[in-house]
Amino acid sequence: MHKAIVYIWESNKKDQALGHASMSLSNGTHTSWWPNREIGKWELLKSFFVDVDIPANPRQTLADDISGEEDNLPTTYVLNLSNKQLDNIQTWWIGFKATNSNWSLKKMNCSTVVSLALDIAFPGMSRSPFKVWTPSLIEMLMWAMNASPTMRKLLVAKVQFPMDLLRQGEIDKLFEHLKNQLEPNLR
C-alpha cells in the first residue's frame, strides 16, 4: 500500500498569506504549484478581480513550500493509495507540468492542482460547485475522506468551518457537494 500526504497551510490575514496546499507521494513525487517569483500586494489584489497568469515553479519541493510559508509546518493528512492510484497520479503530474506553465489565483492555484491530483486517484472528488479551490476546501475534503462512515455523516451535517473564508451560500454548496460524494459510501 502506498501513501499520499496532503499538506495544508491555512491562510493568515495578519500576514496577508493566502495559505497553500501540496501533496507528496510515498515514491518521492511532490505535487506543488507555486508562482516562480514573489507576488506583490497590488498584483495579488488585482488577481482577485482579474485573471493574472504568473509563470509557475514546476520543481517546487516540500522544503520550498515550508520556506515559502515562513517556515510554518503544515497540517498533514495521509491517504492510502493502490499501486495503480500512485502510478496514475505520477503519470498525470508529469503530463500536467509538461502542458501547464502558469499559476493563477483563480484558474490554476496550488489547491486546484491538488484537487486535480486527488481526482486522478479518487474520481469525482475534485468536482466542486466552487469556482476557486482554496487550502481550506482541500482540508475539508481531507476531513471527509479520512473520516469513518459515522463521522462522515456528522461532518456533512455539522462541520465547523472558518466563516470568514467563505460566504454562507458557499458553505451550503460545499455541504451538499460532500454529501453527494459521500452518500454512496454511507449506505
The strands making up 75-81's β-sheet, listed across from edge to edge, are 30-31, 20-25, 2-9, 75-81
Domain that holds residue 52: 2-186
Average pLDDT on 156-165 reads 38
Note the pLDDT of residue 90: 97
pLDDT digits (tens, 9 = 90+) for 65-93: 998 888 888 999 888 899 999 999 999 99
Distance between CA 139 and CA 4 in Å, rounded? 14
Say what the pTM is: 0.76
pLDDT digits (tens, 9 = 90+) for 96-128: 999 999 998 888 999 999 999 999 998 877 666
The residue ranking higher by pLDDT, 161 or 174, is 174
Average pLDDT on 131-158 reads 67
Note the pLDDT of residue 27: 95
7 in helix, strand or coil?
A: strand
Q: How many domains, the chain?
A: 1
Q: Which residues contact 141 (CB under 8 A, 6 or more apart)?
A: 115, 118, 125, 178
Instruction: Scan for cell 496550488, then name that residue.
Output: 110
Whether the Cβ atoms of residue 133 and residue 109 lie closer than 8 Å to each other: yes
